[in-house]
Amino acid sequence: MLTARPRAEIVELQYLRAIAVLMVVVGHLHQAGGRLTGADILGPVGYLGFAGVDVFFVISGFIIHTLYRSASRPTASYALKRLNRIYPLYWIFTGLALLGYLAMGDNLSRDITRLDWLTTITLWPTSQPPLLLVGWTLIHELYFYLVYGLLLFLPGRWRWFAIAAWLGLTLLALTSWLETSAPWSRLALSPFNLLFIAGLGLAELRPHLARTRWVALGTLLVGSAIAILWTQANGLEGMANIGHRVFAFLTMAIALVWTLLAWQPRWHRFLADLGDWSYAIYLGHLLAIGFLARAIAHIMGTGLISTVTLYLGGLAASLLLGWLTHRLIETPLLGYGKRLIASLKRG
């Protein structure tokens, strides 16, 4: 969900963000198709698209460490840039989601009166997800930014010891030896931390990745096979166990990032552009899919044709919404935020 890019990796990271967001969109199209238009085209393996979130987390770790690994200490601009990247567009789509709830009422999946507004507005971790459901991933992103910012207080030689301790505590929590029932402890020791840490490791090893391209590709094939078999066997229900889900997708997510960085492919420019729109697509695609799925079910009824129409139309609508949002709203907002941060630094 982050779009700040080190120049040397600009194209590969654009491709990776595009792949990740397309995976998530397909996962939600599959979910909406099964629930609203009645045809399960892809079977349980369709939920493999949700592994795009895992890929995003690896990318985030890679980018942040690439940008700040040489920093001697954290600065106010580090925090302000991260907040500027996450919140303004998130709040806009949260407002749109709220309008959807007010307009459609009981047609949506949750009772608006039972929503946690603290989480919805601030992305503070509580026991409930935010109104904009994809916001749960942003809670993990913000926590990672916080942890990495704290690491910058340490001398460079101590940072990897701290990361190793964070990794060790996360693995220990998987054994149930550490209590993780409270929202903050679940976040602090979430298995998703392993993906961010893997991204840090890839950034550290970046100069050597080109020499491992065949190993990377082989690992990607093995990891993809593991992820496909696990998803086919466990479906959507398996996603509820975060530990199992992360370990099922971990190898594929890391290897996908590793492979593109090692091989440095040059694909069509559209895929790179789509990577630029990825945050806007990510925040808006559920709104586009939800509206379109209900319209198709109402007009065309349920069945295979309705579901195929949803897949094609939902993908197109998600990309179009992302492009328009990126061009008309996200880019001006980011520019304004950057100018404001620069003025605060001068002041």
pLDDT given for residue 127 in this prediction: 86
Distance between CA 171 and CA 189 in Å, rounded? Answer: 8
Alpha-carbon gap, residue 189 to 24, rounded angstroms: 24
**Does residue 1 belong to any structural domain of this protein?**
no
In-domain check, residue 153: yes
**Is residue 157 included in any domain, yes or no?**
yes
Whole-prediction pTM value? 0.94
Assigned domain for 20 exists: yes
pLDDT at 327: 97
Asked if residue 205 belongs to a domain, the reply is yes
Q: How many domains does the chain have?
A: 1
Angle among Cα 225, 318, 94 to the nearest 5 degrees reads 105
Predicted pLDDT of residue 73: 83
User: What pLDDT is attached to residue 237?
Assistant: 93
d(CA 290, CA 286): 6
Rounded to 10 degrees, what is the CA torsion of 97, 100, 104, 105?
40
117, part of any domain: yes
Residue 272 lies in a domain: yes
Q: How many helices (H) and strands (E) does the chain have?
A: 14, 0
Provide the pLDDT for residue 110.
Answer: 62
Q: What are phi and psi of 237, to 5 degrees?
A: -60, -35
- Average pLDDT taken over every residue of the chain: 91
Q: Within the chain, which residues score under 50 in pLDDT? A: 2-5, 7-8, 106
The type of residue at 15 is Y
Range of the domain at 169: 7-346
Q: Which residues contact 214 (CB under 8 A, 6 or more apart)?
A: none
